Amino acid sequence: MKVRVLTLALVLLSPSAAFAEWQFMPFLGATFGGGTTLVDLEGAVGSPTVAVGVKARVIGDMLGFEGDLGYAPGFFQAGDPHLVVRSSATTLTANVVLAVPRRLTQYTLRPYLVGGGGLMHAHSEDFFGAVTVGSTLPAMDVGGGVTGFLTNRFGVNWDVRYFRSLRGADAGNGVSFGAEELSFWRASMALAIRY
pLDDT of residue 56 exceeding 60: yes
If 0-12 CB within 10 Å is exposed, 13-18 middle and 19+ buried, where does residue 186 land?
A: buried
Q: What is the pLDDT of residue 4?
A: 62
**Between 152 and 55, the higher pLDDT residue:** 55
Q: What is the chain's mean pLDDT, rounded?
A: 86
- Give which of 155, 161, 148 is closest to 191, Cα–Cα: 155
Residues of the chain with pLDDT > 70: what percent?
Answer: 84
> Which tens digits make up the pLDDT trace of 144-195?
999 999 998 999 999 999 999 997 655 544 476 778 889 999 999 999 999 8
Q: What is the DSSP string of the chain?
A: -HHHHHHHHHHHHSHHHHT-EEEEEEEEEEEEEEEESB--TT--TTS-EEEEEEEEEEE-SSEEEEEEEEEEETTT--SSS--EEEEEEEEEEEEEEEE--GGGSTTS-EEEEEEEEEEEEEEEEETTSS-EEEEEEEEEEEEEEEEEESSSSEEEEEEEEEEEEPP--B--SSSBSSB--EEEEEEEEEEEEE-
Q: What is the pLDDT of residue 146?
A: 97
Contact 19, 39 (CB under 8 A): no
> Which tens digits make up the pLDDT trace of 162-171?
999 997 655 5
pLDDT category at 103 given cuts 50, 70, 90 is confident
Find the mean pLDDT for residues 40-50.
87
**Between 105 and 2, the higher pLDDT residue:** 105
pLDDT category at 135 given cuts 50, 70, 90 is confident
Distance CA 140, CA 162 (A): 8
> Which tens digits make up the pLDDT trace of 117-133?
999 999 988 887 777 78
Q: What is the pLDDT of residue 133?
A: 82
**Between 195 and 50, the higher pLDDT residue:** 50
Q: What is the pLDDT of residue 2?
A: 63
Total-model pTM: 0.84
Q: Which amino acid is at 194?
A: R
Q: Which domains does the chain have, with CATH numbers?
A: 18-194 (2.40.160.20)
